């Protein structure tokens, strides 16, 4: 497999992932960004944890979709993520999903 073939394959995979995202985003109420992944979810709970001088975030999501090009099953019933960086959670406004006329 040439470098060109590999790049074309990766581009095709990313395009498929974007199309899937576009198709499913309306099914979810929240967007969640962590240091490693991007999620869509219908229920999100973020807990700040401390142990001594260490602080981390425990994020629990239900009915989630994971933005990961290499993951064969992106829909997840329940996921728990531990991260040491900030977590960004946004509620999706249904009007954000509508195409302006």
> Measured between alpha carbons, how far is 86 from 33 in angstroms, rounded to an integer?
9
For the chain, which residues make up each domain, given as ranges? 3-92
Task: Give the Cα separation of 84 and 58 in Å (integer).
Answer: 9
Q: What is the pTM of this model?
A: 0.82
pLDDT in tens, 9-51: 889 999 999 999 999 999 999 999 999 999 999 999 999 999 9
- Give the Cα separation of 26 and 18 in Å (integer): 14
């Amino acid at each position: 497999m040439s470098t060109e073939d590999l790049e074309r394959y990766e581009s095709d995979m990313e395009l498929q992932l974007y199309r899937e995202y576009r198709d499913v985003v309306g099914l979810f109420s929240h967007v969640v960004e962590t240091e490693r992944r991007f999620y869509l979810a219908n229920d999100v709970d973020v807990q700040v944890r401390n142990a001594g001088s260490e602080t981390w975030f425990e994020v629990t999501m239900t009915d989630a979709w994971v933005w990961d090009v290499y993951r064969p099953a992106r829909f997840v019933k329940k996921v728990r993520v531990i991260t040491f960086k900030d977590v960004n959670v946004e509620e999706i406004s249904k009007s954000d999903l509508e195409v302006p006329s």
